[in-house]
Chain A
Amino acid sequence: MKSEIITRAISLDHPKVQEVIKIAEEIMNSNKILNIDNLYHIAKRSLKIPRKGLLTIIQFLVNKQVLIEGSKYSKETVLSNRTRRNIYEFIKFNQAVHFSHIRKNISEDTSSDGGSSGQLIWHLEMLLKFKYIKKFKLGNYTVFLPTNLDEESGAIRFLLRDKLNKEILSIINSKKSIKRSEIYKILGEKREKVYYHINNLIEYDIIALKEKQDKEVCINPEKKDLLESILKEM
C-alpha cells in the first residue's frame, strides 16, 4: 500500500503560520496558559481560516518544534530540568557551596547538559526564586545553601570545607584555648598562611581572641556546640 495522502506544503515563512505564532506569543505575553485549545479558538476567531487549515498549521508548528511541550514552572516542576536538579542535589549534599565549586562540578557531570555560566546562574536564580536554596554573603564569597539550613551553620560548613580551616578548628576545639604560634607549629604550615586563616575565622566569628590573652584563641562559646556537631558530622 502506498501512502500518498496529499498534504499542502507549508513553511515557517507562510504568512498564516507567522500569524498563528504571533497569536501564541500574545497568549503567552498576556500570562494565559498556551495550549492547543485556546490557540485554536483565538486563532480561529481572529484569522478566520478553515478548521482543517488551522489544525494543519498547529500540527506543523508542533512538528517543527516551534510549539513545544511545557508550562510556567511551579515549585513542583522547576526541578524537572535535569541540570537544575543536579545543581540542587549538589547543594543539598554539600550543604554550603560557592559558585565556583558548583560550576566545576556541573561542568564535570556527564549526566548534565553542562551549559555555560549564564545557564548555571539561571538555574541558581530559579532555585532561589522557588526557595529551594538561599544565598548569603560570607566575606567576599556568595555561598549557596539549602533553605532548611540556617546561615550560621552554612557559614561553618562552608569554612570547614577548607582543609586548613578544618584542621585549625579541630585543634582549637580540642583545647580550651591555644596560642596562634602553637597552631602553625602543630600544622607545620607557613605561619602567614595559618595566621591568615585564623584571622578569617576570627572575622567570621567562629573563633575569638581570649580576653586579656591576645595571642590565644578559642572557639566562640556561642558556636561551640554547633561547631562540634558539624565536625562530628563531617
Chain B
Amino acid sequence: MTLNWTPEVIADLCVFIIVIAGAIATYSFPQTRKIKSLLFIGLGMAVQSLLFLFEAIGMLFLNPLFKVLDGIFSIPGAILFIIAINYILKETYNSITLIIACSFGILIVYAAFLPDATTGVIFEAGYLTINWSGLYGFLGDLYQAYYAMIIFYWGIKTYLHAPILMKRDALIFFIGICLLPLSIVAYYFTLIDPSYIWLSDACVASGTIIYLIAVINEPKLVYILPFTLYRIVVKDREGNPIFDNDWSYSTINEKIFTGFINAVQLMSEEVMNMGGLLDINLEEGILIVHESEFITIGLASSKSSKLLRRNLVNFTYDFQKRFEKELKEYCTDMEAYEPAYELLEKHFSNFPKRIIPSKKHPLLLSGKHAKIPFELDNKLKQIEPNIESYEFLKTEIQKAPLCITKDFFTLYNELKNETDQLPEKEIKELENESGNE
C-alpha cells in the first residue's frame, strides 16, 4: 500500500508532536503541575493534538473516516479549554460559553455522520487529499471560529489585567494566544489556496510553544483574572496587629476592615464552632476572617474563593506553627513576625501584587533603608530619638527639595530656642489661645 505523503501530512504530524509535547510539559514542570486550570489546558491540548494526528492519518491512508474523526476531536479539546478558561476567569467550570460549545458539539457530531461530511479523495494543489464538506464542513469551521474568539478574549483580558512586573510575560503569552485565532484565519484561506495550511499549522505550533513558555515561566499568569487580593492582617488574641501585608490598594475602609476583625475576635467561640472561617460581604469586596487558637487573620479580597479560603487556612496553620513560641509569650513586636513573608510567599505567591500601578510610577527607598549623609544622620538622631519619627524624617528628606535640610535644622533651632526661653506661663497662654476664639 502506498502512503500518501504530502506536505500537509508532514505539517500535521509536526504540529501533533509539538502540541502533545506541550501537553506533557504542563504536567512535567513542578511550578505548573498542580495548577488546576493548567490541568484542563494540558488535557485540552492532548485531545487537540489528536485532531492533527487523525487528520494526518486520514490523508496518509486516504481514509475519510479518520478525516471525519479529526473534526470530532476538536470538540472535547475546545470544551476542555473553555473549562480551563472559565476556571481562570470565574473559578467555576460552567458558563454560557461552555453550554454553547457543548450544544454546538452535538450538532457537529450529528453532521459528521451525514453522507456528505467529506469530499472523498480529491486532487488538490498537486496532491491527493480529503476535505470536510457540506454541513459538517460549515459547522466545523464555525466551531473553530467560536473557539478562537474565546481564546482571544482570555488572552487579551490576561494581558490587560496583568500587573506591571508581569507585563512582559503577559505580552509573550498574549502573542502566543493570538497565534491560535490567527491559525483559524489562515485555515479559512485554505479554501482559496490549500497551501495556507502551512501557515495555519505553523501558527498553531508556534502559538502553543510561545504561550506555554510564558505560562511555565510565570505561572501567576493563570491567576491574574479571578480576583484581586488587597490585604492580610494577623492579630493576636489580645487584638494587637502582629503582621500586615498589602497586595494592592483597596477601597475598603480601614475602620470597617479592623472593626470586623475585632468583632469576630469578640465572638471567637461562635466563630470557632463554625469552623473558624467567616466570609463578610462588604460593598467594596469581601473580608475572609479566620479564627484559630492563637490568632485571628483577616484577608480582604475583591471576591470570595475556595482557593483563597483554603490558602488562608493553610497560612494560619503554618503561621501558628512557625511562631508558636512568640504567640505563647504574647510577643506583640511586629518585627518578630517578619519571617511570615516567607509563609506569604508559600501560600499566596501565585497572586500578583498590584501595589505599584505602573513601571514608571515613582518610588522611594523607605526611611529604614535610605542612606543619608553621616552628619545629617547624626543630627536627625539627636533631634529624633524615637525610631519611627527618625525613619519618617529620613523618608521625607528623600522626597524634599535638596536644600531643605539645612533650613529645617535652622528652623528647629530657632523654634527650640524660642520655646526654651519663653516662660512656661507664656507657653501655656500661647497654647491655649484657641480657647479664646
Contacts and interface: CB of A to CB of B under 8 A. Distances in A.
Contact of A122 (B366, B393, B421, B429): B393
B401 A101 contact: no
Contact of B418 (A2, A140, A162): A140
Contacts of B412: 118, 121
A199 interface: no
The bracket for how many chain B residues form the interface is: 35 or more
Contacts of A40: 359
Interface in B341-356: 341-342, 344-345, 347-350, 353, 355-356
Instruction: Count chain A CB atoms within 10 A of each CB in B369, B427, B432, B437 and give the residue with the most.
Output: B369
Interface in A151-203: 161-163, 166
Interface stretch (B28-36, B143-151, B176-184, B202-210): B28-36
A116 B389 contact: yes
A1 B36 contact: yes
Contact of B411 (A35, A69, A121, A140): A121
Interface in A48-106: 51-52, 55, 58-59, 62-73, 94, 97-101, 103-105
A16 B168 CA distance: 22
Interface string B403-437: 01001100110111011011000010111111011
A122 B364 contact: no
A17 to B, nearest CB: 10
B194 to A, nearest CB: 42
B193 interface: no
B122 interface: no
Contact of B419 (A35, A73, A100): A100
Contact of A118 (B356, B360, B384, B436): B384
B371 interface: yes
A65 to B, nearest CB: 6
Nearest to B384: A118
A149 interface: no
A99 to B, nearest CB: 5
Given A3-B349, A73-B400, A25 B370 contact: yes
B368 interface: yes
Contacts, number: 187
B415 A121 contact: yes
Contacts of B58: none
Contact of B433 (A68, A101, A103): A101
B415 A142 contact: yes
B363 A39 contact: yes
B388 to A, nearest CB: 9
B92 interface: no
Contacts of B364: 28, 34, 67-71
B395 A68 contact: yes
B31 A105 contact: no
A35 B361 contact: yes
B396 interface: yes
Nearest to A29: B371
Contacts of A37: 359-360
B392 interface: yes
B320 interface: no
Contact of B365 (A21, A35, A119, A128): A21
A230 interface: no
A37 B164 CA distance: 10
Interface stretch (A5-13, A212-220, A221-229): A5-13
B172 to A, nearest CB: 12
29 contacts: A1-B34, A1-B310, A4-B34, A28-B365, A35-B362, A36-B165, A39-B363, A51-B168, A62-B356, A63-B245, A64-B341, A66-B369, A67-B363, A68-B363, A69-B364, A70-B363, A70-B364, A71-B399, A100-B419, A100-B431, A103-B431, A104-B431, A105-B434, A118-B380, A119-B389, A122-B393, A126-B400, A140-B421, A166-B436
Interface of B: 30-31, 34-36, 164-165, 168, 217, 219-220, 245, 307, 310-311, 341-342, 344-345, 347-350, 353, 355-356, 359-366, 368-371, 380, 383-384, 386, 389, 392-393, 395-396, 398-402, 404, 407-408, 411-412, 414-416, 418-419, 421-422, 427, 429-434, 436-437
The 3 closest A-B pairs by CB, nearest first: A71-B362, A104-B431, A37-B359
Given A3-B349, A73-B400, A142-B414, 8 more contacts: A3-B34, A5-B31, A36-B164, A62-B355, A66-B365, A66-B368, A67-B366, A140-B421
